[in-house]
Amino acid sequence: MIPHHYLKSQAFTRGFRMLLAIAIFVGVTLGGVVQVSAGDSPDAARIAVRAGKVLTMDKADVVYNNAVILINNGKIERVGAASKIRIPHGYRVIDALDRWVVPGLVDCHNHTAGSLMDLNDMVYLTNPGLRTLETVMPESENVKQGRAGGVTSVLLIPGSGTNMSGFGTITKMGGDTVDDMVMRSPGSLKIAQAGNPERYWFGVGRSYMNYNTRQTLMKAKTYHESWKAFESGDSSHEPDYNPIYDGFRGLFSRDYPVSVHTQMYQVLMTTVDMLTKKLKLRTVLDHCTFDAFKVAPQVLKTDAYTINGPRQYWFDRSQRKMNGNAARWWQGGVHKLGINTDAPVIPQEELPFQAAMACWYGWQTYPALRGLTRIPAEALMVDKRVGTIEVGKDADLGIWTGNPIDPRSSCELTIIDGRIVYDAAVRRRF
Amino acid sequence: MTARNSVIWCGLIALSLCGSAALATPPAKLALQGGRIIPVVGDEIASGTILIENGKITAIGEKVDIPFDAMVVDVTGRVLFPGMVDAHSSRGLDVPNEQLPVTPFLDVFDALDPSKLYFEDALRDGITSIHVIVDNNCVIGGVSRVVHPIGLTPDEMTQDVQTSLKLSVAPKRRSDRMVQMATLRETFLELSDYLGDLAETKYEESLEDKDEKIDVGPEEARARGRKLIRSVDYDDKHANLVKLTGGQLGAFVYCETGGDVGRAIRLAKDNGFFDRMTFVLGAACYKAVEEIKATTRPVILGPELIHRERNELTGEIIETFVPKVFADARIKFSLLPHPDGSLGERYLNYQAARCVRNGVTRKKALASITINPAKALGMNDRIGSLQVGKIANIVVFSGDPLDFNSWVDQVYINGIRAYTRDTDVRLKRLFGEETSEVPSGDEKEKVDNEVSVKDSVDQKKPTVTTSEKAGTEKKVTDESKQGS
């Protein structure tokens, strides 16, 4: 086992990496005029993993004991029982016979693009047109930490200081350039309802915030519809190009979702009513904490995804009762339920701990594993590529000493797009 | 799970069912039999029956033919009273007012929180209709709606949408009366400018299809264009003001002092909403009682019923019991519950009882918490009294509503049993199982002394909301730690 990629990046001095980061930043902001490449050639195109247990996390919930996964050219070529798959010649074999292999974990809510300075541009209550793509830093410490914890795909979103803080970016947790990393941009539109925006804009109530957010979205929708009418020939009038609202077109054609910082009953209810029901947006409800689980009946009537965390319990003072948030959502029938970290609020590598805590407060282990893999991938509409171990999907895997949700387990090896990006045997992080 | 826990759980489920009761269909026919009926409009019936069919009252009297298929509820010894009406409340919102002074484009829909304990308390206190409207700290607030305190979403709770706009002639905080009035004038002037421009634009648009372009001059163009405007042409900022000046929206106008009343009347007459105006009055407004009477517009009195003013020469405090002044002037008024849930004034029937103590007749006092607010909301054809044809919003009291030893035993909304004291988990937790215990006669004697009344209130119904309030605040702090 030669963790070639990892060794290579170790060869860089700290100063060189800093320069690289600046160069990449300049390169990106100049629109790719400066080409930056760390020049990592994927020589390990073909890998075979012999695993003690494989959780495919697919729709049939298939679990293989004593299995083989073949990886070819960054994709999963075959997966199945060891007795049925013969490892062809030329494959580098990774022996993990006492290990669990699970899909690379997916987090819908991460703020570690760029530095904390880049978290929020608090100009107006709604700031359409901003994008985290401009702040993505490849091979940052956050990225390395995350993949050492088995996390392979994340949605990098701006903060929730304003009601609408810009577009997020879905990236892999590995890659030497921004282009290498990015899975989709825009990954989602970030909206924050109540809570934080109230803190920064003292005196603004929910009635004005909701009105204002709705107005911004309606302007964007009108823009989208006038273009649609022009493109389909229904209108001969060519609308003016507007760089601020152009990014919303995919939102209204449901190519990507809106991710909403939303918590507490009234706020989440408004999210579902305004964004999911009335504006018909593909919605990912993030946080969903405090007494938000009471909105379950409304959420069930929609196609929204619920991604709970990082706060895992709510103490109901009126009833003097502890409520596990995820458990209550699950009990309310919401099964499109995932878990997030809000990294760096909770470090990215502690994503499975969030699930562990959700289980401690009454959720179940297997649905929780699904909430770290397939569900967030579906929520972000990248489930054709990641979230499960299935033939044809990206070879994003974590090789664990046991169940990832068990806090005693550790991730020993992480593979992204068929490349080993972390190997505890070479240099252990945790 | 311990036995106690399971009891709490069952109760909680029952309570949460209260919430979803709005979705449930009422039993087709229901008869409340054997109670004393105080219909507010019409004579009291010592022992009678109310028949409810499909959520409406279809018969009421000493003897009512009960259909064979009606569910009969025995309310012998109880008192049937109309569900009380809160004509002006911002307690269902996250903040009483926005910071912006002029916000006619807002709707309370966006901030209404059905999970607020306030609604649960309103039900427990026998209030079945609540006019949710922004508070008085505004110039022009948003549109209001009338809700009942059950339902999981504002839509489920709503009885009447887009009922009124809130205006205040008393200064918004950190402003003064001249600025307040100037802002109001400016808003309506800007509206008329906007409408003129819109009319001209519409007229010009109508000429586009015609070959002949005749310049008719701006006056004529506006007159012609005005007829071409459709309701969808108004932008958000002006649509509700157009409705207000056109009489399609009510106006709840807040006056703080007697002097404000005249300004409110002039503002309403100048801008065409006088016929839809309702006064929301601070205690000091009793000084303009004759002026108010002459308008014949509905009057809502603030929760502070006593006006206190210091005689600067003698240092004496002059106290005036405000509702008595209005009653003596033969003005029909509505009372409001106090927003501070820890006071006896929180209960509407307590407010009415205070009126009786201060010389207002029982009939007028009862009307001021039921039919009068219903009339102020323009809903007296549907709510506010127990009459055939009205919505079956009924409170079953354990005794006379003005006796403060009476409890709300049951509440019916649209003919659905929305509350029963037997299954009220929070009351049980506070008082144990024996909530029906009547305090001794001594405490009844104390009713004359206001301070003691509060004390006895506190003993009997220690407020449920205070601790919850603290909890809510804490919640926000917790959340702020949450970060981005």
pLDDT in tens, B148-191: 999 999 999 999 887 899 999 999 999 999 999 999 999 999 99
Give residue B254's pLDDT band: very low, low, confident or very high (50, 70, 90).
very high
The per-residue pLDDT for A198 is 85
Report whether pLDDT(B86) > 50: yes
Cβ-Cβ contacts under 8 Å, B105 against chain A: 211
Domain identity same for A60 and A93: yes
The per-residue pLDDT for A430 is 86
Average pLDDT for chain A: 90
Report whether pLDDT(B460) > 80: no
The per-residue pLDDT for A205 is 92
Cβ-Cβ contacts under 8 Å, A294 against chain B: 115, 152
Kindly state the tokens that stand for B458: 């506190």
Domain identity same for A137 and A151: yes
Report whether pLDDT(B454) > 80: no
CATH label, B84-383, candidates 1.20.1440.230, 1.10.760.10, 3.30.460.40, 3.20.20.140: 3.20.20.140
Residue A33 lies in a domain: no
Q: Is the Cβ pair A161, B484 closer than 8 Å?
A: yes
Domain identity same for A352 and A425: no
Domain identity same for A323 and A250: yes
Domain extent, residue A421, equals 42-102+388-430
Residue A34 lies in a domain: no
Judged by average pLDDT, the poorest of A12-21, B59-68, B258-267 is: A12-21
Mean pLDDT of A177-186: 96
Q: What whole-number percentage of chain B has pLDDT above 70?
A: 84
The per-residue pLDDT for B461 is 42
pLDDT tens across B49-80, in order? 999 999 999 999 999 999 999 999 999 999 99
Nearest to B482 among A270, A291, A345 (CB): A345
Residue A5 lies in a domain: no
Nearest to B484 among A159, A209, A269 (CB): A159
Domain identity same for A358 and A419: no
Cβ-Cβ contacts under 8 Å, A290 against chain B: 475, 479
Report whether pLDDT(A325) > 90: yes
Task: From A353, A368, A386, give the residue that closes a domain.
Answer: A386
Mean pLDDT of B140-152: 95
Mean pLDDT of B260-288: 97
Mean pLDDT of B351-357: 97
Domain identity same for A180 and A132: yes
The per-residue pLDDT for A118 is 83
* Pairing outcome for strands A258-262 and A182-192: parallel
Q: State how far residue B37 is from chain A, nearest Cα, in angstroms.
A: 35
The per-residue pLDDT for B344 is 87
The per-residue pLDDT for B26 is 67
Report whether pLDDT(A6) > 50: no
The per-residue pLDDT for B455 is 42
CATH number at residue A427: 2.30.40.10
Domain identity same for A178 and A113: yes
Give residue B266's pLDDT band: very low, low, confident or very high (50, 70, 90).
very high
Q: Is the Cβ pair B108, A207 closer than 8 Å?
A: yes
Judged by average pLDDT, the poorest of A119-128, B98-107, B134-143 is: A119-128
Please state which CATH class domain B3-83+384-438 belongs to: mainly beta
Domain identity same for A117 and A258: yes
pLDDT tens across B183-239, in order? 999 999 999 999 999 999 999 988 887 877 777 888 999 999 999 999 999 998 899
Domain identity same for A246 and A342: yes
Domain identity same for A369 and A394: no
Domain identity same for A143 and A265: yes
Residue A286 lies in a domain: yes
Domain locations in chain B? 3-83+384-438, 84-383
Spell out the SS3 assignment of chain A: CCCHHHHHHHHCCHHHHHHHHHHHHHHHHCCCCCCCCCCCCCCCCEEEEEEEEEECCCCCCCEEEEEEEEEECCEEEEEEECCCCCCCCCCEEEEEEEEEEEECEEEEEECCCCCHHHCCCCCCCECCCCEHHHHCCCCCHHHHHHHHCCEEEEEECCCCCCCEEEEEEEEECCCCCHHHHEEEEEEEEEEECCCHHHHHCCCCCHHHHHHHHHHHHHHHHHHHHHHHHHHCCCCCCCCCCCHHHHCCHHHHCCCCCEEEEECCHHHHHHHHHHHHHHCCCCEEEEECCHHHHHHHHHHHCCCCEEEECCCCEEEECCCCEEEEHHHHHHHCCCCCEEECCCECCCCHHHHHHHHHHHHHCCCCHHHHHHCCCHHHHHHCCCCCCCCCCCCCCECCEEEECCCCCCCCCCEEEEEECCEEEEECCCCCCC
Report whether pLDDT(B334) > 70: yes
Chain B contact present for A304, CB below 8 A: no
Residue A22 lies in a domain: no
Q: Is the Cβ pair A204, B98 closer than 8 Å?
A: yes
CATH number at residue A110: 3.20.20.140
Give residue B340's pLDDT band: very low, low, confident or very high (50, 70, 90).
confident
Give residue A21's pLDDT band: very low, low, confident or very high (50, 70, 90).
low
Domain identity same for A129 and A232: yes
